Amino acid sequence: MPSFDAVSEVDNHELTNAVDQANREVANRYDFKGSDAQFECNDNVITLHGQSEFQLEQMRDILLLKMTKRGIDIECLEVAEPEATGHRAKQAITIKQGIDQETARKIVKRVKESKLKVQAAIQGDKVRVTGKKRDDLQQLMGQLREADLGLPLQFTNLRY
């Protein structure tokens, strides 16, 4: 029986490349010379270190541009408020991985509302959709891409 998994994942290798490129650009830019501004990536959190909130804003724009060029959907980012202490400022950006239960329920609800002959099941941080016809699955993929769910969706494990 044909099926696919709806997931929300970020390619960690591409993420690391985007952060490295952003670090290189900040190091070479004239307005950042001698400022000790940098990006730090640990697990699913990118920390921006700069001298002021204005610098953090510029750094965030650089990072988002690099991530977009590397094919990372910026909808998966959760930007925290900047923290300023003396002459230093930092800001954390969290990368959301996986589909939370509430969003998974929304996806299942959309699948049922589509009136297509497919079934959806929540399996941890992904949603498995099965159906008898490939056309129904492909039509549902299009509907899910158009839906505004608050996080980017990818379709993996496609089996015909």
Per-residue model confidence as pLDDT tens digits over 132-153: 988 888 888 888 888 888 888 8
Q: How far apart are CA 39 and CA 21, in angstroms?
A: 10
Q: Burial of 70 by CB count in 10 Å (0-12 exposed, 13-18 middle, 19+ buried)?
A: middle
Residue 30 has which token pair?
């004239």
Q: Domain 12-95 carries which CATH code?
A: 3.30.70.990
Check whether 158 has a pLDDT greater than 90: no
Q: Which of 83, 127, 135 is nearest to 108 (CA)?
A: 127
Residue 87's contacts (CB-CB under 8 Å, 6 or more residues apart) are 51
Q: Which two tokens stand for residue 57?
A: 């804003």
Using pLDDT thresholds of 50, 70 and 90, give the confidence band for residue 39.
very high
- Same-fold call for 3-8+98-159 versus 12-95: yes
Q: What is the pTM of this model?
A: 0.84
d(CA 108, CA 111): 5
Distance CA 58, CA 142 (A): 35
- For 58-68, what is each residue's pLDDT tens digit? 999 999 999 99
Tell me yes or no: is domain 3-8+98-159 CATH 1.10.357.10: no
43 band by pLDDT with thresholds 50, 70 and 90: confident
Percent of the chain whose predicted confidence (pLDDT) is above 70: 100
Residue 111, judged by CB atoms within 10 A of its CB (0-12, 13-18, 19+), counts as: buried
Which of the four pLDDT bands, split at 50, 70 and 90, describes residue 34?
A: confident
Domain boundaries, the chain: 3-8+98-159, 12-95
Q: Rounded distance, CA 114 to CA 1, Å? A: 19
Residues 83-123: tens digit of each pLDDT: 998 889 999 999 999 888 989 998 999 888 888 899 999 98
